[in-house]
């Protein structure tokens, strides 16, 4: 998709209803539960935010950014995610959290990003986080960096997300489960599953309105 066309049409999304949990759970692992708000409130989940950043590549095609997390001793090591992280007391909003983390992790200048949509929160049971995704625009091809939390930056063509063949199933082993089949997106030769795939599916259904 041409970036200028994408950019000129995102304003249509301001009043577009989100797919919510129904959209997210189309790409959720079968063992994933739809927890009630009362359950989540009782867990006192930590707040976090991520940035789904859309920008042009060298050919003017719309791309978005994913990252491969570094291999560390943690729940989400070596998984695919959007740039983002935990809400800090110095953050004046979750939107600020997403922008700050994107700057720290991959070098995106917050002042250059235009946030155009807040998506549905996603509860992450293994790490007890409630994550808020934000969609943002960057008018140029970024020069990406990496901090110690990021092993690789992954630039994905938006048109690849809309390819039906991108949806499949893979088998994963995590710190809390072994050899489990999960639905996923195959994007830029990476299998994207779990919370990130759930977010991506809601984003995919939203952007179909453009």
Residue partners of 76: CB distance under 8 A and separation at least 6 = 69, 126, 127
pLDDT in tens, 29-86: 888 888 888 888 899 999 999 999 999 999 999 999 999 998 765 554 568 999 999 9
pLDDT band at residue 14 using 50, 70 and 90 as cut-offs: confident
Structural domains in the chain, sorted by start: 3-158+194-207 (3.90.79.10)
Whether the pLDDT of residue 16 is over 70: the answer is: yes
Contact yes or no for 77/159 (Cβ under 8 A)? no
Confidence grade of residue 18 (pLDDT, cut at 50, 70, 90): very high
For 79, the token pair is 């998984």
**Closest C-alpha to 176, from 126, 133, 132, 136:** 126
Its sign, for the CA torsion 104, 109, 111, 113, is: negative
DSSP 84: E
Number of H helices, E strands in the chain: 6, 11
pLDDT at 83: 98
Write the pLDDT tens digit of every residue in 106-156. Answer: 999 999 999 999 999 999 988 899 999 999 999 999 999 999 999 999 999
Query: Is pLDDT above 80 for 87?
Result: yes
95 three-state secondary structure: helix
State residue 49's pLDDT score.
98
Q: What share of the chain is helix, strand, coil (3-state, %, to 5)?
A: 30, 35, 35
pTM: predicted TM-score of the whole model, two decimal places: 0.94
CA angle 34, 36, 37 (to 5 degrees): 130
| Location of structure tokens 């060298």 | 58
Sign of CA dihedral 146, 151, 155, 159: negative
Q: What is the pLDDT of residue 81?
A: 96
Q: What's the pLDDT score for residue 74?
A: 52
């Amino acid at each position: 998709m041409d970036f200028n066309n994408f950019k000129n049409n995102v304003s249509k999304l301001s009043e577009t209803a989100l797919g919510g949990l129904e959209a997210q759970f189309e790409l959720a692992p079968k063992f994933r539960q739809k927890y009630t708000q009362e359950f989540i409130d009782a867990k006192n989940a930590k707040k976090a935010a991520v940035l789904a950043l859309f920008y042009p590549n060298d050919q003017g095609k719309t791309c978005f950014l994913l990252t491969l997390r570094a291999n560390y001793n943690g729940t989400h090591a070596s998984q695919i995610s959007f740039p983002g992280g935990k809400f800090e007391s110095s953050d004046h909003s979750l939107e600020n959290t997403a922008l700050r983390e994107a700057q720290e992790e991959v070098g995106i200048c917050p002042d250059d990003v235009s946030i155009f949509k807040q998506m549905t929160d996603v509860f992450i049971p293994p790490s007890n986080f409630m994550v808020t995704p934000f969609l943002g625009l960057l008018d140029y091809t970024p020069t990406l960096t990496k901090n110690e939390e990021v092993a690789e930056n992954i630039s994905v063509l938006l048109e690849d997300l809309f390819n039906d063949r991108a949806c499949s199933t893979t088998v994963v082993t995590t710190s809390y489960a072994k050899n489990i089949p999960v639905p996923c997106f195959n994007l830029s030769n990476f299998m994207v599953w779990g919370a990130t795939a759930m977010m991506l599916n809601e984003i995919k259904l939203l952007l179909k309105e453009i």
